[in-house]
Structure 1
Amino acid sequence: MKKAVISQTSSPIGARIYAARLAKGLSQEKLGVLIGLEEGSAGTRISRYESSIHEPAVPTSKAIAKALNVPLAYLYCENEALADLIIQLAKLSAAELQKIKKQL
């Protein structure tokens, strides 16, 4: 997944949405429509989220995470290494996660 550039002064969600959207090969408009936004404003809304002009409400963030097939925690994670781990952990089975949990 493309590395998200996280600003020290803003929420990481905009950069995370951008990186995950590109990894899925979706346009801003297509992502917006997938989460139920009106077609005419979908691209603009997603653009505002990605540029951190606006931060989506949690229910909207959940819809975005679902559409992008990433955990909600990934969108809010400020640490790049941890964000990468969240993506990798989400791909594991319950049994694999239990093994890792026991090792920790």
Structure 2
Amino acid sequence: MRSRREELGWSQEKVGVLIGIDESSSRARISRYELGTHEPPVKTARQIADALGVPLAYLYCEEDEVAQLLFVLWTLTPSLRHRSVSLWLNQLA
């Protein structure tokens, strides 16, 4: 989440407020989610993903490169996504 939020130039507070967390506690809550101190409920994670414009799975990637790849795939049209995945899978076989 941190890398996409930083790409957008958004503060933790802004993300929190966008998903409906009170401004006074939004920075602390988003910080705890980013650090892994607390796990947001799926509903909250989905709201964060929607606010950041990323797929929900992006928030659960442990490596930035995997998150970036997932984001790129997600931004493709369905037909291009299908062709890309098929091509990659064929090359792995």
TM-score higher than 0.5:
yes
Name the stretch that deviates more: 23-32 or 70-79.
Answer: 70-79
Shift of 1:38: 0.8
Structure 1 runs (4+) greater than 4 angstroms displaced: none
Please, what is the CA RMSD of the aligned residues?
Answer: 1.5
Residue equivalent to 1:62: 46
Q: Which has the higher contact order (CA 8 A, sep 6+)?
A: 1
Structure 1: tracts of 5 or more residues without a match: 1-16
Of the candidates 10, 33, 37, which is equivalent to residue 49 of structure 1?
33
CA–CA separation in structure 1 for the residues paired with 2:60 and 2:43: 13
- What TM-score do the two structures reach when normalised by structure 1? 0.75
CA–CA separation in structure 1 for the residues paired with 2:32 and 2:82: 38
Structure 2: tracts of 5 or more residues without a match: none
Shift of 1:82: 2.6
Question: Does 1:29 find its partner at 2:13?
Answer: yes
Q: Compare the two structures and name the one with the higher helix fraction.
A: 2
Question: Structure 1 vs Structure 2: percent identity of aligned residues?
Answer: 48
